[in-house]
Homo-oligomer: A and B are copies of this chain.
Amino acid sequence: MLLPEPIQRVIEAFARLPGVGPKTASRLTFFLLRGDGALPDELSKALGALRSGTATCGQCFNITAAGEELCPICAHPEREKALLCVVEEPLDVLAIERTQGYRGLYHVLGGALSPIEGVGPEDLKIAELLQRLKTGQVQELIVATNPSMEGDATAMYLQQQIAPLSVRVTRLARGLPMGGDLEYADQSTLLRALAGRQNM
């Protein structure tokens, strides 16, 4: 190959990231070679500390700083402990926090049930969730898995598991997205919006 090995190695590592093909990987690498002199080293150091500097919250399994037992949300004294929101990934917690409309706690499953990809209940933090619910502190469980096949299957499974416990289980509303145009809404979204219509 024509490229020096140090360049080739960066391109190959970049190309293993999701959504980054060989062409984008080359473009990023040559940008780093030419652009801001400090960026390659800053990115290198930040990446080197990524895994060692982070850990999993012992209660909700969200990502937190290394050396802390609980994440800032679980440790916060003013969050409502009666309200628990189940999500698939840490990024989902971030999305809900950004709305500033939720003051309860979270539980991060670490994925969704997917027979095709071989993800079963034992691969997710479902046993830990049931354990949390059995303490009796939680009154409502909001299931906020993705509106996808896997997310829906996970929600159904959770509902079955939680049925024997006296916990109210709710699900995020489905319907038209804000700012959307009725004309461009897909069939199943529109069907859900109709089925879930509300009094004005």
| Chain A residues engaging chain B, CB cutoff 8 angstroms | 2-7, 9-10, 12-14, 16-20, 24, 26-34, 36-37, 39-54, 63-66, 72-73, 89-91, 93-94, 97
How far apart are the CA atoms of A51 and B16 in the complex, in Å? 21
Known: A18-B27, A30-B90, A91-B26. Is A4-B40 also a contact (CB below 8 A)?
no
Using CB atoms, name the residue of chain B closest to A91: B30
Using CB atoms, name the residue of chain B closest to A41: B48
User: Are B39 and A16 neighbours in the complex by a CB distance under 8 Å?
Assistant: yes
Contact of A50 among B10, B73, B90, B94 (CB under 8 A): B10
Q: Which residues on B sit within 8 Å (CB–CB) of A3?
A: 63, 94
Copies in the complex: 2
Known: A30-B90, A72-B2, A94-B26. Is A50-B18 also a contact (CB below 8 A)?
no
Q: Which residues on B sit within 8 Å (CB–CB) of A4?
A: 53-54, 63-66
**Chain A binding site: helix, strand, loop or mixed by DSSP?**
helix
Using CB atoms, name the residue of chain B closest to A37: B51
Q: Which residues on B sit within 8 Å (CB–CB) of A72?
A: 2
Q: Which residues on B sit within 8 Å (CB–CB) of A29?
A: 50
A36 to chain B minimum Cβ distance, whole angstroms, is 7
User: Are B97 and A2 neighbours in the complex by a CB distance under 8 Å?
Assistant: yes
User: Are A47 and B43 neighbours in the complex by a CB distance under 8 Å?
Assistant: yes
Pairs A-B, 4 closest by C-beta atoms: A6-B53, A4-B65, A44-B47, A44-B48
A66 to chain B minimum Cβ distance, whole angstroms, is 8
